[in-house]
Structure 1
Amino acid sequence: MTTKLLVLLCLLLPGLLHAQQKPAPKKAATTKFDPRQRPRNLTDEQLLDQVQRQTFRYFWDFGHPVSGMARERSNVAYEYGNEVVTTGGTGFGIMAIIVAADRKWITREHAATRILKIVKFLEKADSFHGVFSHWLNGETGKVIRFSQKDDGGDLVETSFLFEGLICARQYFTQETKTEQELRNHILWMWEGVEWNWHTQGGQNVLYWHWSPNNGWSMNHQIHGWNECLITYVLAASSPKYAIDKKVYDQGWATGDYFRNGKEFYKTKLPLGFDYGGPLFFSHYTFLGLDPRGLKDQYADYMQQNQAHTRINYAYCVDNPKKYKGYGPNSWGLTASDSYKGYAAHSPSEDLGVISPTAALSAMPYAPAESMAALKHFYNDLGDKIWSDYGFVDGFSEHHNWYAKSHLAIDQGPIVGMIENHRTGLLWKLFMSSPDVQRGLTKLGFESPQIKK
């Protein structure tokens, strides 16, 4: 596996949370929201509301009190303490906050104020050519290194952050003082990210890390197919420091695992690892980037993500290792905590652990199968895997193991991708950015949302 989240598997860290009251949903006015309860016999719409809203609490009440950023995880691990906040997870959290404001679980003003707090903190935090590190100290803004030499700019985590910030800039368009200030500060930060610096002197590929202490010594080129498509899209979209198309073609699209074209469980997989790899490949980039009708010379990205999801689902139903609990209503393999520590679960690395974020964040790609899993997780397994912040990070009925933890990068996609399935909200916001449209056009993408 070539991506950092898979190479540096066992290094993730701290977080926890609580939420706001919302008027009952328009179509389902029968349940009062109480985060301590698990109401039963919910309609599908009520259940989606319940899960999104409970999961959102991870980012709202458990956001860091000083920075407002998302904590890495809900349990303290690896002796880093309670101050670790995550750049990419914060981007996903910002998108969850937008969803909460749009559904009126919190006020628009409260949402804008929280995101402005995050942005002002980041403006004073450590950054490197405008690029933020993977982890920061949520109180001081100083880098907390992710690994021995990973103590500088992390371009992929920064792209997840700006995926959320661009959505925020497109959502908060009112002429209030808070929203005007928020748009201005996001623009200043966005314009300051030196994406082309990460070509290491003009090479036709992006590099993941640069550090003032270690330079380019991690030497990790970003090739596809994985979760990093958003990094190339935003690098091409930059107003001041954009990359050229040849960086995309000769860097991203030339990885050892870029093209596939083979069939798995009677489904042809255009791109990526055999059997697709962990499902987060089809989630992180596509929280903002709308895959519907999105095509370039390499793939139709809705077809890619649907194929990846179908293969993951079919593998769990087939269950070749005969794990207890796998089946049509309990499926989904992606990177998460496990009984062995953090692991990149996939059909090729199957430890018997189901990660709820995998099936739930696949809602736009396999709505019936995802809804069946959601009902099973909530109604049948809820006593073991439902908590104050939504579903826990992973579980294994086979090993009688149920995580106590939540991770920002897993909770965020649940809120955002379910919302994209329901309303397309985040897709509409991100794709409405003129910078994003220019970047996609430069890279040769077609999309119904790109204005001619």
Structure 2
Amino acid sequence: MTKFASAKRKSHRVRDEAVLERVQRATFQWFVDCQNHDTGLIWDRSRPGCPATIAGVGFALTVYPVAVRRGWINRDNAVAYAVKVLRVLANAPQGEGKSGYSGHRGFFYHFLDPATGLRATAPQFWDSELSTIDTALLMAGVSFARTYFSKRNGLEKEIRSLCTALLERVEWSWMIRADKKIHHGWTPENGIIPHVYGGYSEALLLYLQALAPKNHPAPAECWTSLLDGVKAESFGGKPYIAMPGTPLFCYQYPHCWIDFRGIADDTNRRLGFDYFQNSVRATKAQYRYSVDNPNGWRGYDELDWGLTACDGPGNETKVVDNRERTFRGYSERGCPRGFDDGTLAPTAAISSIVYTPRRSLRTMRFWLKHRPEIFSEMTGFADAFNPTFDTSRSSGWVGSDRVAIDQGPIILMIENYRSGFVWEVMRKDRSLRRALRRAGFKGGWLEK
């Protein structure tokens, strides 16, 4: 390599780092601002009067240490946040009542009153359900915090103690159906929600969290039941496990915390690729879909791509470019099969950076330069935009909100790309290692 080529490559790396730093830092500021500052509970979205989301707290418990690593805050700031929010969660009452409780049997309601940490209920909000997947996302952050805050001072000892108490009181065994699949949740009004998680999805994280604790764990057979019968399909590229709808968040959430590279369970060994490779292939299939643009949506190309669950322009049908188009508000979106109304979610492309680094970086650079209306230095990227819905502007309809569960993966996946930090911390977590082994994973870092 010539000196000129070497200098050019170094210049590109510096430029890329500046882009990543800018996006991460702006997105972190959203977490700082969009929370109840007395409880630390994270708002579901950047809208006054909305409830708190326990999944958002799980992301925040991981995001704050990332901010320490990047020098945006000091460790004492992260400790203060973790102690505050963990005390609220650990001390909030649990029980079967319809109101006045944060959850039941160790699980938490999907949405909480941000001022009290108790169940979000009507008429102020709506009657939230007890959610297994959102409890799992919370506990992923709790697990990270327990491992990261490892110093021997009083506050970090308290953090570890609170984390252990929260992790060990979840009665995962209560949520297991007879066929060893995990239910979606429970409400005091109607009892157990009959739907279960089965097949490949974000539930990889849910089931591993359920396998991890010493108290009330799910049986190991649950992992086999989750993935029973899954198969690989091809959409013009390498085969991968394509879940119904194929939104990208399902290929991202588990990987925010767990490094699946080089470790394999029975399904991986049967199919010949691990879950990280599976996500790479799913992401590339989405990218190809946007480049091919079979439905003729405005803006879809090699720089504008990424479908997942996100906000949308609203439930409306209208004629655009001589074609009748049907649009939705918040909805799951995905491809090559799944619902698509021309709505692109920045989190989908950006949080794929560990899978498609060049494509994700190129898209970020393009959006920052040519779509400034979808980015803010104080809140990061808009949740979604749709160039087809509003043809009067280049980015079309732009969502006004940022959503916690879309903001979190941006910070964590960029950090995993930049340093592997979150993965490195979680590889030290004994409970995660126990869960992976119970699920039949072998190889790679798990053997060290």
Q: Is the TM-score greater than 0.5?
A: yes
Specify the code of the residue in structure 1 equivalent to 2:311: D
The whole-number CA distance in structure 2 between the counterparts of 1:285 and 1:121 is: 25
Specify the SS of the correspondent of 1:59.
Answer: helix
2:61 to 94, 99, 106: 94
1:335 to 291, 309, 314: 309
How far is 1:61 from its partner? 2.4
Contact 1:331 1:359 in 2 (8 A): yes
Specify the SS of the correspondent of 2:108.
Answer: coil
> Does 2:343 match 1:369?
no
The whole-number CA distance in structure 2 between the counterparts of 1:403 and 1:42 is: 31
Residues 68-105 of structure 1: CA deviation (Å, up to 9, x unaligned):
021000125xxxx24x1001121112211111011111
Q: Map of 1:273-292 to 2, 5 A cutoff?
A: 273=244, 277-292=246-261
Contact 1:309 1:365 in 2 (8 A): yes
Specify the alignment match of 2:265 in structure 1: 296
> Does 2:45 match 1:73?
yes
Q: Map of 1:87-126 to 2, 5 A cutoff?
A: 87-125=54-92, 126=102
Q: Map of 1:261-272 to 2, 5 A cutoff?
A: 261-272=232-243
Matched positions, count: 399
Question: Which 4+ residue blocks in structure 1 deviate beyond 3 angstroms?
Answer: 145-152, 383-387
1:127 to 100, 103, 111: 103
Specify the SS of the correspondent of 2:112.
Answer: strand
> Does 2:35 match 1:58?
no
Unaligned ranges ≥5, structure 1: 1-40
Query: How large is the Cα RMSD of the aligned pairs?
Result: 2.0
Specify the alignment match of 2:382 in structure 1: 392
Specify the alignment match of 1:402 in structure 2: 398
The whole-number CA distance in structure 1 between the counterparts of 2:156 and 2:376 is: 35
Q: Tell me: CA distance 1:169–1:146, structure 2 relative to 1, closer, same or farther (3 Å).
A: farther
TM-score, normalised to structure 2, is: 0.85
> Does 2:191 match 1:215?
yes
The whole-number CA distance in structure 1 between the counterparts of 2:121 and 2:439 is: 33
Q: Tell me: CA distance 1:363–1:94, structure 2 relative to 1, closer, same or farther (3 Å).
A: same
TM-score, normalised to structure 1, is: 0.84
Contact 2:35 2:114 in 1 (8 A): no
Specify the alignment match of 1:242 in structure 2: 217
Residues 39-88 of structure 1: CA deviation (Å, up to 9, x unaligned):
xx981101100100110111112221221021000125xxxx24x10011
Specify the alignment match of 1:49 in structure 2: 21
Contact 2:44 2:53 in 1 (8 A): yes
How far is 1:259 from its partner? 2.1
Specify the alignment match of 1:346 in structure 2: 334
Larger radius of gyration: 2
Specify the alignment match of 1:25 in structure 2: none
> Does 2:135 match 1:161?
no
Unaligned ranges ≥5, structure 2: 1-12, 93-101, 269-273, 315-328, 390-395
Specify the SS of the correspondent of 1:298.
Answer: helix
Specify the code of the residue in structure 2 equivalent to 1:408: A
Specify the SS of the correspondent of 1:105.
Answer: coil
The whole-number CA distance in structure 1 between the counterparts of 2:127 and 2:120 is: 9
2:438 to 437, 442, 445: 442
> Does 2:116 match 1:140?
yes
Specify the alignment match of 1:227 in structure 2: 202
Identity level (%): 31
How far is 1:124 from its partner? 2.5
Specify the SS of the correspondent of 2:56.
Answer: helix
The whole-number CA distance in structure 1 between the counterparts of 2:179 and 2:279 is: 29
Contact 2:237 2:281 in 1 (8 A): no
Contact 1:437 1:451 in 2 (8 A): no
The whole-number CA distance in structure 2 between the counterparts of 1:175 and 1:139 is: 31
The whole-number CA distance in structure 1 between the counterparts of 2:342 and 2:242 is: 25
Specify the code of the residue in structure 1 equivalent to 2:246: G
Specify the code of the residue in structure 1 equivalent to 2:250: F
Contact 2:247 2:334 in 1 (8 A): yes
> Does 2:286 match 1:312?
yes
Contact 1:86 1:136 in 2 (8 A): yes
The whole-number CA distance in structure 2 between the counterparts of 1:310 and 1:422 is: 20
How far is 1:222 from its partner? 1.4
Contact 2:233 2:239 in 1 (8 A): yes
Specify the code of the residue in structure 2 equivalent to 1:209: G
Specify the alignment match of 1:259 in structure 2: 230
Q: Tell me: CA distance 1:146–1:270, structure 2 relative to 1, closer, same or farther (3 Å).
A: farther
The whole-number CA distance in structure 1 between the counterparts of 2:400 and 2:32 is: 19
How far is 1:184 from its partner? 0.9
